[in-house]
Chains A and B, each alone.
Chain A
């Protein structure tokens, strides 16, 4: 327990004021206590958050129970609430964004960390940090004014013509929808993946690379077979960060997703995400049931993030064990 770890160093034979003063002077005790309080705050915030969401959503939890997760209707007037289309929309948009952003982001990070000259790498890093600092509403506006017309006029018809036999690319092309939202999210999370992955790759010890090169591998082989596996857990960390951002992103998503609670196999179909519906409807939500249903959606989003992060961490533990068992080739 954390409390016992505080008590251990204070098990000092001299309990007089002199030893207290000396401990105070060299500051270890104070530093330990203060940093412990800071660390505990994080846990406290999470606990309070769940507590508030849980107590704030009593009415719909009792009325709908688990059917809240399986109902497709969201009708504030009849007070019928179901989260399924929103969960679906959140997962699909986050999935599409990671599918696009992960290969691109990691590829770019490898280039910047391993292959590019220092000057170019640093300059590009500056631009990437700049991208990460752009407010999401700007991405949303760019999505509305540039991406949506291009999607409707060019990209979606082209996808329909070539891959239209897949249910993923059927139906009318409105421009807004899961695909566009996923694309905007991908653009938003790429800087996170690149930035964190690059740092992790740069921190791989030199001797790892030298050993690989000494064994006769090419530059690419040493990068791909030694450096990247070595940095795997850090790269996974960057993907978690990207996933968390994609799940919770509100403003940019609501501007391009179409805001219609539908479940459709087509990526061109308009949809809705949990964060977007909360932002849209919270201010005008009248009636306790309606308001609490929105709060329960917040709880669902929290749960979703929790499960996905847990699953990703589990996956990482499993793959790391297997990797180390086989050894690096």
Chain B
């Protein structure tokens, strides 16, 4: 009993120390950057003592929660649209800023019996397949880009995400850019009205369906594909080269887009210029209110962002995220002054 009391005292003292350092910042949002965010928050806590809680509830829920003020900051795989920013301003009387943190990409993955090598996909082939217009694997739109591969005359089974997700946002954002029909008929979003195909829940659901369904094609996050050693195809970029997604080609897409980067960082880098840029890439953003009531939270969060986009970037590649290009980091450091 005495030992128990001692233990209790120790726990209480520890809790007291944590409370004294005291700063607890809450955030919520995207699931895609969760592995690196939790690593960053952990490292940041070790150095500064400030504790950042992050719930990976999804980009949509993150935007909703930061708008309603139930968390101090949000995170999203797609930038907030003008209506959402207006809603934030109406509710909180201040603006919201976007800070890119790392980069991700979506890759086409497939299961075609007899095909073992990497397939090449043109934008026309991908949009045609996902619109349901290209229904056979030996369609000239696919076959002409894969001269050395003998493709079967089987029906294509399209597999997409059934849950709302940032990966779907990147994928449909890309298809909207390369296909007018896709833009008019389907559009871009975390969930869309798919013209064809089956839905799988999560990256693992899509991968499972593809593995089990012969002649299928779908898309998953680059990180998921890399960690699970799932083979994926190359995509023809705007410069006309077929590029396989990797950390370098994704970073190059960001560098290509950084010259035309708008002040608010709300930019889509799908189909970005650059000879080796991977075309289905995207930033993921932290959503930070312009004004904070609590100066302590504000300074801690500003410190955190400053650290994450500079020194913190060294954690990115180990976790298969592509680093921010230097031009973007410089721009963001300037933009941090807007947070007050």
Contact = CB atoms under 8 A, between A and B. Distances in A.
Interface of A: 73-78, 80, 144-145, 148-149, 152, 172, 174-176, 254-255, 258-260, 270, 272, 276, 279-287, 291
A283 B163 contact: yes
A276 B265 CA distance: 35
Contact of A148 (B57, B84, B199, B212): B212
A260 B193 contact: no
A176 B58 CA distance: 26
A285 B193 contact: no
A284 B189 CA distance: 10
Interface in B138-170: 155, 157, 162-165
A35 B58 CA distance: 42
Contact of A284 (B61, B201, B212): B61
B199 A259 contact: yes
A284 B198 contact: no
A260 B191 contact: no
B56 to A, nearest CB: 10
A260 B188 CA distance: 18
Contacts, number: 90
A255 B205 contact: yes
Contacts of B59: 284, 286
Please classify the interface of chain A as helix (H, G, I), strand (E, B), loop, or mixed, using the class held by over half of its residues. Answer: loop
Contacts of A254: 162, 201
Contacts of B84: 286-287
Given A175-B212, A286-B84, 4 more contacts: A174-B213, A254-B162, A286-B60, A286-B190
B187 A259 contact: no
Nearest to B209: A176
Interface of B: 57-61, 63-64, 83-84, 155, 157, 162-165, 186-194, 197-201, 205, 208-209, 212-213
24 contacts: A75-B193, A76-B192, A76-B193, A77-B189, A80-B193, A175-B213, A176-B198, A254-B162, A255-B201, A255-B205, A258-B199, A259-B198, A259-B200, A279-B163, A280-B163, A280-B164, A281-B191, A282-B164, A283-B61, A284-B164, A286-B59, A286-B190, A287-B83, A291-B64
A276 B164 CA distance: 12
A209 to B, nearest CB: 50
A281 B197 CA distance: 17
A154 to B, nearest CB: 14
A285 B192 contact: no
A75 B165 contact: no
Nearest to A148: B212
Contacts of A279: 163
A322 B189 CA distance: 56
A258 B60 CA distance: 23
Contact of A77 (B63, B163, B188): B188
Nearest to B162: A259
Contacts of A174: 157, 198, 213
A92 to B, nearest CB: 17
Contacts of B162: 254, 259, 276, 280
Contacts of B209: 176
A76 B191 contact: yes
Contact of B201 (A80, A270, A280): A280
Contact of B57 (A78, A280, A283, A287): A283
Nearest to B78: A286
B193 A259 contact: no
A270 to B, nearest CB: 5
A181 to B, nearest CB: 12
B163 A281 contact: yes
Nearest to A283: B58
Residue with the greatest number of chain B CB neighbours at <10 A, chosen from A74, A152, A279, A286: A286
A138 to B, nearest CB: 15
A171 to B, nearest CB: 12
B328 to A, nearest CB: 25
Given A281-B163, A281-B164, A74 B58 contact: no
Residue with the greatest number of chain B CB neighbours at <10 A, chosen from A172, A259, A291: A259
Contacts of A286: 59-60, 63-64, 84, 190
Contacts of A74: 193
B79 to A, nearest CB: 12
B164 A260 contact: no
Closest 5 CB pairs of A and B: A284-B164, A259-B199, A259-B162, A283-B58, A75-B193
A259 B200 CA distance: 7
B60 A283 contact: yes
